[in-house]
Amino acid sequence: MRKYSLLPILCTLLLVAASPILADPVPGVSRGGATILHDVRPSQPAERVRIAWLSEWFDGLFGTPADTRVFIIDSGAPGATVFVAGGTHANEIAGILTAVLLAERALPSVGRLIVIPDLNTSASTYTESTTMPSWIRVDTTRGPRFFKYGARFTDPVHQGEPDPERYVHPKGGNALEGVEARNLNRAYPGAPDGNLTQKLAWAVMTLLRSECVDIAFDLHEAGVESRLANMIVANPKNLDTAALAVINLEMEGLSMKLEPSSETFHGLSHREWGDGTDAYAFLIETPNPAQSSKNGNPTEDPKYPLALRVATHLASIGAILDAWNDGCPPDKRIAFSYYPDWHTVKDQGVGALLN
């Protein structure tokens, strides 16, 4: 097994010093060689929360920089199992903060919730551009907190092999730029003996199957002019559920576009999770100004503030779960004693509800 390099962490700390948004870096803790940069503080009753590591489902991740924490919040009552992942792309910060908020506060009363706030933690360890922040600050009622703003791709130092000239998914399709070999959202269903990104994808697929996940969400962001901004992408088998959610969101004042997964573009979560497991699979995209231009502000943009984007993710997940409940068998419902209110997040900021 490859030894984990400290170089990316040192680089991160140097970039931290140069970042205008940064205050204090969050100290890392390590486990099996993987340095953890992420601050997640669950506050649900202790008997309802289990904190695991993704390597529990696939031990090929153990000791690698791709092992990441899994927060399981169980109502104790039978129902649906819901999976939420943030940080597939570690620069898509609204998805990460939505997942953190759910891991810290959401409390199912029926069914259970499995959250991975920082799915590609290797991608978190570095920053792609010196114009991007390394950390973002969120003020809460208990003081400031800091969240890692990373990169889109697995760190090349961790991948275990150089990028190919062109990347072609094993199932075929168009040849992409070689760097896409390190894009987790092109790697599904992954491979147990592949490079680190393929192993990470394999671990997620294994978790979805082993835990009999019913509904799975992959939270993303795109540039503000991107066709994908404010869009839900749904596996064709669960397109109806997403369509009902989009109608209900419109009535709440949130306009989301809807697309089915491409029939020919392989490797994406909504396509492969839905095709390869029993889960209904959804990907949600919000607009991040920092992905449009090097001067874009990832948190304080007047038109696309972080709070609105996190609120959009929360509302979209909630609407899809409501639509699921409308059509599912009685023993497959998901309900919450507490679910973070998206209006509060939109009006008062993410920090209003973070612990």
CB of 218 to Zn ion, least distance (A): 8
The nearest distance, CB 220 to Zn ion, in angstroms, is 3
Residue count, binding to Zn ion (CB under 5 A): 3
What is the gyration radius of the CA atoms in the chain, in angstroms?
19
- The Cα–Cα gap between 173 and 176 comes to 9
Helix crossing, 269-276 with 196-210: angle to 10°? 40
User: Rounded distance, CA 41 to CA 104, Å?
Assistant: 5
- Shortest Å distance, C-beta 316 to Zn ion: 15
Nearer Cβ to Zn ion (89/186): 89
Q: Which is nearer to Zn ion, 31 or 227 (CB)?
A: 227
In Å, what is the CA distance from 34 to each residue of 28, 61, 66, 154?
A: 10, 10, 7, 14
Task: Examine residue 270 and tell whether it contacts Zn ion (CB under 5 A).
Answer: no
Binding of residue 266 to Zn ion (CB under 5 A): no
Helix or strand run (H / E) with residue 50:
strand 49-53
Residues 90-109 that bind Zn ion (CB under 5 A): 92
Whole-number Å distance between alpha carbons of 271 and 344: 32
Contact between residue 153 and residue 119 where contact means Cβ atoms under 8 Å apart:
no
Q: Which is nearer to Zn ion, 169 or 220 (CB)?
A: 220
186 versus 199: smaller Cβ distance to Zn ion: 186
The stretch among 75-83, 86-94, 113-121, 287-295 that binds Zn ion (CB under 5 A) is 86-94
Cβ neighbours of residue 71 closer than 8 Å, sequence gap 6 or more: 40, 42, 49, 50, 51, 103, 114, 115, 116, 117
Whichever of 58 and 153 has its CB closer to Zn ion, that residue is 153
Interface pattern 203-242 for Zn ion (x via CB under 5 A): -----------------x----------------------
Among 4, 58, 70, 89, binds Zn ion (CB under 5 A): 89
Cβ distance to Zn ion smaller for residue 199 or 220 = 220
Least distance from C-beta 134 to Zn ion, angstroms? 19
Helix (H, G, I), strand (E, B) or coil at 52: strand
Task: Work out whether 186 is an interface residue with Zn ion (CB under 5 A).
Answer: no
The footprint of Zn ion (CB under 5 A) covers: 89, 92, 220
